[in-house]
């Protein structure tokens, strides 16, 4: 399926890069429309894809169009392309946070096949996590294409749209929380005399290994925590300090804050 990217910033660029690296998309089947001319030149030169001078050129070429602009820019973009899209059946793929299927349909001004996706930045190394939902006009082949696209850059879950705000918090926003946690571990190690770069590498590797262990285990997270916490040992001392500092409640508050913000977008 020929695929267009309208806006190709960090997230859309990560998706494009991953799909090309995995061979899911071929450069000759991709067209990119990007306002930033330097960014567009970089993308064309790096990946060998086609550049579009405007959205009309992109829609005339593409069977599917990924909307990679920020949520605030989406209304103007959809108003612009709604009329143009009438000339051809185009599958729209939106990755804009907080923009429902109904809202996207309203902004397009017509009934069009739309898939809403919430990805995360880890798609840039093909370790992303994405949630997907589609309106009734999307065919099974169209839905399969989008699922396969995001499975090419990680894993994808088909979820009811009412769960997207929660998904956004625990998958879309949580990489930032995880980076903060890793950096906090590294900075604590620096205070105790370890080199920052080495401390960051060690902390990141430990987080990766822990995540893989949990994802591959049938045990509950607390079962694994108990296995690391020897009686009277160092780990239980650290776990107790985290609990005393409200670690779990702070994480829950962060998730709630993300959900509330997503609903206001």
What pLDDT shows up at residue 102?
93
Degrees to nearest 5, angle at CA 100 with 137 and 24 = 60
Please name which of 105, 90, 96 lies closest in space to residue 139, comparing C-alpha atoms: 90
**Domain count of the fold of the chain:** 2
In this structure, are 44 and 93 located in the same domain? Answer: yes
Q: Answer with the one of 101, 134, 159 that is the final residue of a domain.
A: 159
Q: Answer with the one of 113, 132, 159 that is the final residue of a domain.
A: 159
What pLDDT shows up at residue 264?
85
Q: At what angle do helices 140-151 and 10-21 cross, to 10 degrees?
A: 90
Q: Which sign, positive or negative, has the C-alpha torsion 118, 119, 120, 121?
A: negative
In this structure, are 125 and 170 located in the same domain? Answer: no
Q: Is the pLDDT of residue 88 over 70?
A: no
Q: Which helix (H) or strand (E) holds 65?
A: strand 64-67
In this structure, are 87 and 127 located in the same domain? Answer: yes
What pLDDT shows up at residue 89?
80
Q: How confident is the model at residue 262 (pLDDT cuts 50, 70, 90)?
A: confident
Q: Which domain holds residue 149?
A: 3-159
Q: How confident is the model at residue 81 (pLDDT cuts 50, 70, 90)?
A: confident
In this structure, are 256 and 146 located in the same domain? Answer: no
CB 147 within 8 A of CB 131: no
Q: How confident is the model at residue 87 (pLDDT cuts 50, 70, 90)?
A: low
In this structure, are 137 and 196 located in the same domain? Answer: no
In this structure, are 138 and 177 located in the same domain? Answer: no
In this structure, are 210 and 128 located in the same domain? Answer: no
Distance CA 239, CA 245 (A): 10
CATH of the domain at 92: 3.40.50.720
Q: What does the mean pLDDT of the chain come to?
A: 93
pLDDT tens across 16-30, in order? 999 999 999 999 999
Token pair of 3, please?
């695929």
pLDDT tens across 38-69, in order? 999 999 999 999 999 999 999 999 999 999 99
What pLDDT shows up at residue 79?
87
pLDDT tens across 208-238, in order? 999 999 999 999 999 999 999 999 999 999 9
What pLDDT shows up at residue 189?
98
Q: Answer with the one of 114, 134, 159 that is the final residue of a domain.
A: 159
In this structure, are 203 and 72 located in the same domain? Answer: no
In this structure, are 38 and 100 located in the same domain? Answer: yes
Of the listed ranges 79-93, 136-150, 172-186, 242-256, the one predicted with least confidence: 79-93
pLDDT tens across 136-150, in order? 999 999 999 999 999
User: Residue holding tokens 């990679």?
Assistant: 68
CATH of the domain at 203: 1.10.3730.10
Q: At what angle do helices 196-215 and 174-191 cross, to 10 degrees?
A: 130
Question: Could you tell me the pTM of the whole model?
Answer: 0.84
In this structure, are 180 and 116 located in the same domain? Answer: no
Q: What is the mean pLDDT of residues 236-246?
A: 97
Q: Is the pLDDT of residue 178 over 70?
A: yes
In this structure, are 180 and 235 located in the same domain? Answer: yes
In this structure, are 123 and 10 located in the same domain? Answer: yes
Token pair of 243, please?
């609990």
Q: What share of the chain is helix, strand, coil (3-state, %, to 5)?
A: 60, 15, 25
């Amino acid at each position: 399926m020929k695929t267009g990217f309208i806006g190709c910033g960090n997230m859309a660029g990560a998706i494009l890069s991953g799909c090309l690296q995995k061979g899911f998309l071929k450069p000759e089947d991709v067209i990119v429309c990007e306002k930033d001319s330097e960014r567009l030149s970089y993308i064309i030169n790096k990946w060998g894809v086609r550049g579009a001078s405007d959205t009309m050129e992109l829609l005339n070429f593409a069977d599917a169009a990924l909307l990679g602009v920020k949520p605030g820019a989406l209304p103007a973009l959809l108003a612009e392309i709604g009329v143009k899209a009438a000339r051809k059946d185009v599958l729209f793929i939106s990755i804009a946070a907080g923009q429902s299927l109904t809202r996207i349909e309203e902004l397009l001004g017509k009934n069009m096949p739309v898939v809403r996706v919430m990805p995360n930045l880890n798609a840039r190394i093909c370790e992303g996590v994405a949630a997907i939902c589609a309106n009734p006009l999307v065919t099974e082949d169209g839905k399969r294409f989008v699922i396969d696209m995001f499975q090419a850059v990680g894993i994808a879950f088909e979820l009811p749209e009412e769960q997207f705000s929660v998904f956004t918090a625990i998958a879309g926003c949580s990489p930032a929380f995880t980076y903060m946690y890793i950096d906090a571990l590294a900075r604590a190690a620096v205070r105790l005399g370890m080199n920052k770069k080495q401390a960051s590498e060690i902390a990141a590797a430990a987080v990766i290994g822990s995540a893989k262990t949990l994802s591959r285990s049938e045990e509950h997270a607390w079962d694994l925590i108990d296995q690391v916490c020897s009686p009277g040992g160092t780990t239980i001392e650290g776990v107790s300090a985290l609990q005393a500092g409200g670690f779990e409640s702070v994480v829950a508050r962060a998730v709630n804050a993300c959900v509330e913000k997503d609903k206001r977008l």
